[in-house]
Amino acid sequence: MKPKDLKSQYTWDTRCIKLEDGVFYVPSHYPNYGSFTFPGWAHSDVFGNENPVNVEYCSGNGAWIATKAMEFPNENWVAVEKRFDRVRKIWSKKKNHGLNNLFIVCGEAQTFTEHYIPKGSVKDIFINFPDPWPKKRHAKHRLMQSDFVDMMGQVIKKEGALTLVTDDPDYSIRSTDVLLQHDAFESLYPMPFYQTSLTGYGSSYFDALWRQKGRQIRYHRYRKTVNSAAIS
């Protein structure tokens, strides 16, 4: 299957929440997200089993998560990507490799997490190369903000791991500041709270691109705290 084989599901005027062929469509600026009830990970339209669930935000073209789905067939993998052109590429990988343990969300991370991920249902969360939105006036668009960390704290299981990967030093510092202020997570690394290598982590389009340009990659890893006040 080619990416273009996945057809657009709606226009702006006809946008709707839709679950079809392993893709969950969550349009932006939809007036009533509560009108759709997510059926749960074990539903036949999603994974159809009770295997552990891992979520990757900012999945890009899906190279990293498709590889993980192949490496760990007894775990479920959720790719969250807001751009439809990239969702098409993930879908193509899912189809061509027969990855029934890969589920795709076409929508924004915050909206999907807040409205549809069941509380305490996610084993591990991965955030790979989020857009740093470096200009101050664009700060509101950054994924790693306090309210989103709260949401992740609600959906991840106790002692589950949160991994953030970035090539941007400023974004690394800002994200660390946000995460350290929350009792839902504790860093698995001592100060400066990141490492520049992580054996067996895998690669992606952006990982290869930034390495080629000579940028240093920072890996941040946090664990959901046992005594966190967030729902487990």
Q: How far apart are CA 196 and CA 175, in angstroms?
A: 16
Report cis status (omega within 30 of 0) of the bond before 3: no
Q: Is 131 a catalytic residue?
A: yes
Calculate ∠ Cα 154-159-165, nearest 5°: 80
| Token code pair at residue 57 | 């935000």
DSSP state of 149: H
Q: Pick the catalytic residue: 5, 21, 85, 131?
A: 131
Report the sign of the C-alpha dihedral through residues 139, 155, 181, 130, in that order: negative
Kindly calculate the radius of gyration of the chain based on its CA atoms and give it in whole angstroms. 17
* Residues 20, 125: Cα–Cα separation, whole Å: 24
Are the C-beta atoms of 42 and 49 separated by less than 8 Å? Answer: yes
What positions carry a catalytic annotation? 131
